[in-house]
Amino acid sequence: MKIHKIKTFADKPLKPALTPALSIEQSISALKTPINNIKGVGTKLTEALSRKNIKTVEDMLYYLPRDYIDMRKIQNISMLKPGMFAVITGKVLSPGRTSFLGSKKIFELLINDGTGTLKAKWFNISSAYLNILRKKHCVNQKVIVSGFVSEFRFQKEMHHPDIDVVSESDNIDKNLKIVPVYPLTEGVHQKTLQKIIRHVVETCACIVPDLVPEKVKTMLNLIPIQKALKKVHFPSSDDRIEDLRSFSSPYHYRIVFDEFFLLQSVLALKKRSVSLETGIQFKIPTSKLSGFVSSLPFSLTGAQKNALEDIISDMKKSCPMNRLLQGDVGSGKTVVALAACLISIWNGFQSAFMAPTEILAEQHYRTVKALLGGIGITTILITGSHTKSEKQGALDSIRLGMANLIIGTHSLIQESVRFHKLGITIVDEQHKFGVMQRAELKKKGTNPDILVMTATPIPRTLGLTVYGDLDVSIINELPPGRTPVQTKVFHENRRQAVYSMAHKELEKDNQVFIVYPLVEASEKSDLMDATRMATHLQQDIFNEYKVGLVHGRMPAKEKNSVMKEFQSGNINILVATTVVEVGIDIPNASLIIIEHAERFGLSQLHQLRGRVGRGDSDSICILLAQYKKSGDAEKRLAVMEKTSDGFRIAEEDFNIRGPGEFLGTRQSGMPDFRVARIGRDINILLEARKAAFSIFENDPEIRLPENQSLRKILLEKRKGRFELAGIG
């Protein structure tokens, strides 16, 4: 669909080329119009705008100003100070003067407002533009000039200002306005973008469909989305500049609300879809479960008991469980998940437990075997490093139902793995897996229960978006006897003191982790690397002890061999990269030294810190930082020294880094908001969530007439940005 080509861009209202009388489907289609169909947008501009992800008319409508210039207040030239932005009105004193700086042309106009004079200057301008300026401006002409003030030889100046001609009869107030300022990219000028967006807003904002039901708009006093899109780009002269600049105007509110409302509607729909599925209604063998809990070599904490009660409640229902279990490092998530697996097995089903690495899968296998004792549960481990005959035996055992509890890595989702009767799937360290991998594992059974776990606490604000369709349980207390790890920040000039601390721990027969950001030396970086430093530490610093090396590039067999040596105590110091971030349980390790700590994120530092403090000894985490640190790095290290509460750390990390970087590129499912910012707009998010879930509670299949716009938009979005289920 082509947008009507308007020959010139003018400030007068443009005649809309598209009418609001379109159906929702037609409107959505029209909004997908490529920007190269817009008057004034050629090939080069199309390429430049695509770098800002502006590819369609809709993208341009939602490309909001980053700031606004307030041109409503006239100031006297005599009061202007260098560096300030100002709007003045006055008369041109003399004809435009052209001078040269080398071969570059300079054009000047001298303007007087009765309180002083100001020079308007344009540098290095083309001959064509010079002719335009000469013809446009003459002596005694009344003008409005705006721009940043500078001073040269005691003369106040504005360079490349905006200048408008007004007649003596004009009401100057009509020419004063709030001007949008857009984020730019190379090859795009501010005025060009302003004109193009004005054209798009005037012609296309009117056809944007409204997905929010009237009842919600009335209750929350929301303005129409079409008005919000017009005014957010070109505000009224009586709008508050402070609200516009802080993204808290009614226009910003409505646009942000819509983004959150659409996402929350999708999450409500997903949650409803799961509730409509027919799952496995497990019977809870209370006496067996009590016997298992009593047999444990420790007592469950209150938080563990509460999480287990949540899971039992889910498993008793006829719809599949879809729950997220959050718990800090060492809080005891595994034993709670194991209890859920036993309920499945005692009902005649199999249980699958997927971990992100072989080391962690093997650790879970050993832990589970020890906890199960003589219960009579057949537990098998399946990983990529098994021999062909070992793997085939395991596959047969799974297929025939002889294996009750299957623990493994990504190997579990391979086509060759066929379960006899899968009842529950546990996904550990779920942030290491993509959405599709979890979905593949779910397909191994007939709507099995799903329990995903994470030791990387998720900020509440993020949980409402990425995991908003899941029920959540939190284990927020450590088992008795676990003491927080003491954390200290040391700078490079205290390296020898750090090594002395390591020697003291080794003399107590404790073990030490030393973590580096790189595997090998890089010409592009001056960071220390694990491979080179392992040799240096063994030869020059700790030559009386055995130093081991493990990193992600090592073959799995070699890596596992080194880890087993460390676990058995044959290796005293393990030099590693972040491959040890997740799940390595070494009770004898009492010290971890993290080199270049300023280069790691908060959640990653917290995970690494969790490698120590798992035994009886008091444990220490040393963050060894370089002198050159950014402001954010200083904040991260200060937070690590201050608290060991993973949930508080997650919130701080989220606030410092933002949602995209917090999740990392591997995490699938992060919504792509154009305008909304989770941290900034949390209150709007809560309103939108409440409204969306309320609609689906009262109208589960969104069949009511007042919800038809929402229904149609959800169906259209199903083809694009969202994968929806349960609506058709």
Q: Give 227-255 pLDDT, tens digit per residue.
A: 999 999 999 988 999 999 999 999 999 99
Mean pLDDT across the stretch 554-559? 81
pTM score, two decimals? 0.64
CA end-to-end span of the chain: 27
- Compute the radius of gyration of the chain from its Cα atoms: 32
Average pLDDT over residues 617-639: 83
85 alpha carbon, distance to own chain's centre? 35
Contact between 34 and 59 under an 8 Å Cβ cutoff? The reply is no
**CA 549 – CA 576 distance, rounded (Å):** 6
Burial of 672 (0-12, 13-18, 19+ CB in 10 A): exposed
- Kindly state the tokens that stand for 455: 């030791």
Give me 351's structure tokens. Answer: 């249980």
Each residue of 502-530: b (16+ CB within 10 Å) or e? beebbeeebbbbbbbbbbeeeeeeeebbb
Q: Are 456 and 662 in contact (CB under 8 A)?
A: no
pLDDT band at 543 (very low <50, low <70, confident <90, very high): very high
Residue 533, phi then psi, degrees to nearest 5: -70, -30
Q: pLDDT digit string (tens) for 663-682?
A: 443 344 445 688 888 768 88
Residue 602 · residue 633 · CB < 8 Å = no
Q: CB within 8 A of 69, min separation 6: which ones?
A: 85, 146, 178, 179, 181
**Confidence label for 724 from pLDDT (cuts 50, 70 and 90):** very low
Residue with tokens 């942030």: 431
361 has a pLDDT exceeding 80 = yes
pLDDT per residue as tens digits for the range 491-517: 988 999 999 999 999 999 999 999 998
% of residues, the chain, pLDDT over 70: 86
Query: Of 479 and 675, which is predicted with more confidence?
Result: 675
Strands of 116-184 (E only): list them: 117-123, 142-152, 155-159, 162-166, 178-181
What's the rounded Cα separation, in Å, for the pair 408 and 386?
Answer: 11
**Cα three-residue angle 392-394-396, rounded to 5 degrees:** 70
Residues 364/333, Cβ–Cβ less than 8 Å: no
Compute the distance between CA of residue 277 and CA of residue 725 in angstroms, rounded to an integer.
Answer: 11
Distances in Å between the Cα of 176 and the Cα atoms of 477, 580, 637 are 60, 61, 49
The string of pLDDT tens digits covering residues 4-48 is: 433 323 333 334 444 546 888 888 889 999 998 888 888 889 998
pLDDT band of residue 409 (cuts 50, 70, 90) is confident
Q: What is the pLDDT of residues 145-185, one digit of tens each?
A: 988 999 998 899 999 888 888 876 665 555 568 888 898 88
Q: Is 179 helix (H, G, I), strand (E, B) or coil?
A: strand
Cβ–Cβ contacts within 10 Å for residue 218, how many?
9
Backbone angles phi, psi at 106, to 5 degrees: -125, 130
Give the 3-state DSSP-derived string for 320-380, with helices as H, strands as E and coil as C: CCEEEEEECCCCCHHHHHHHHHHHHHHCCCEEEEECCCHHHHHHHHHHHHHHHCCCCCCEE
The domains located in the chain, with CATH, are 73-176 (2.40.50.140), 212-276+681-728 (no CATH), 311-475 (3.40.50.300), 486-643 (3.40.50.300)
Q: Which whole number is the average pLDDT over 270-281?
A: 80
Q: Residue 229 has which token pair?
A: 């899109």
Q: Which residues contact 391 (CB under 8 A, 6 or more apart)?
A: 382
